[in-house]
Amino acid sequence: MDLLAFAKGPILMWSLIIFFVGVSWRLVGVLLLRRKPDYSEPRDTSPAWGAVRTVFTRMWVRKEFRARTAYAEVLSYVFHFGLAIVVFLFVPHILFIKSMTGLSWGGLPNGVIYAIGVITLIALIAVLIRRITQPVLRLLSNFDDYFSWLVTTTPVVTGLLASAHLGARYETLLGIHILSVELLFIWFPFGKLMHAILFAVSRSTTGALLERKGAAT
């Protein structure tokens, strides 16, 4: 079995199994913990609406904080949107998803995707530089932060190399690219990448609690 077949075969299956089992385990492990009843008299507000609203309103920072957070915000937006576009609007990715799920949609021209891939990579490198050089981030960072960065950035790099046919045979590059994505799947449930799911749980929790008090969410 060559590298590409290996990557597309058992490793893909196992990485997805680990992904789904791990994500479910982590979510269930949190969500099934007890919830104490709150007997305080709520204000005349809707906690459910507060929960839903906060999931969206925390997508941007309040204007009072913006001056101090603008650079980090812009970088985060660039690489998050960049990743989303490259993952979901690159035609070969759509074909791959179609082969697995039967779902498909229209993509962007390859040239546009390559440009966005490069911009995303630049933003990811800037994020890493910031993490290493900014004192707060340096203090907070642990293995998870750096490894999560690595498993996020590697598929971007290997994808760009495969597209450019740079460094090895295309099949080999594609095999490495798929393996790097599988590494991301495997790591996803264990580290901070899980925020792609937990953000909704965490934001809605606080949104509901604060809305109940009639406080700002």
| Chain contacts with other proteins (rule: CB under 8 A) | 25-26, 28-41, 43, 54, 58-59, 61-62, 64-65, 68-69, 72, 76, 134-142, 144-145, 190, 192, 194-195, 198-199, 201-207, 209-210, 213-216
Q: What are phi and psi for residue 132, nearest 5 degrees? A: -80, -30
Residue 145 CB, shortest distance to other proteins, in Å, is 5
Task: Write down the least CB distance from residue 98 to other proteins, Å.
Answer: 31
Tell me the closest approach of the beta carbon of residue 123 to other proteins, in angstroms: 14
Cα atoms found within 13 Å of the Cα of residue 32, Cβ hemisphere only: 6
Give 1 or 136: the residue with its C-beta nearer to other proteins.
136
Please state the closest distance from residue 135 (CB atom) to other proteins, in A: 4
What's the farthest any 2 CA atoms get from each other in the chain? Answer: 67
- Cα(118)–Cα(17) distance, rounded to whole angstroms? 31
Distances (CA, A) of 62 to 58, 65, 68, 81: 8, 6, 11, 20
90 versus 185: smaller Cβ distance to other proteins: 185
Q: Which is nearer to other proteins, 9 or 42 (CB)?
A: 42
Q: CB of 86: closest distance to other proteins in angstroms?
A: 21
Q: What would you report as the CA-atom Rg of the chain, rounded to the nearest whole angstrom?
A: 20
Phi then psi dihedrals of residue 74, to 5 deg: -60, -45
CB-nearer residue toward other proteins: 41 or 103: 41
Backbone angles phi, psi at 160, to 5 degrees: -65, -40
The residue among 46 and 206 lying less far from other proteins, judged by its C-beta, is: 206
Supply 177's token pair: 């690219």
160 in Cβ contact with 124 (< 8 Å): no
Q: How far apart are CA 161 and CA 84, in angstroms?
A: 19
- Cβ closest to other proteins, residue 122 vs residue 210: 210
Minimum distance of other proteins from residue 216's CB (angstroms):
4
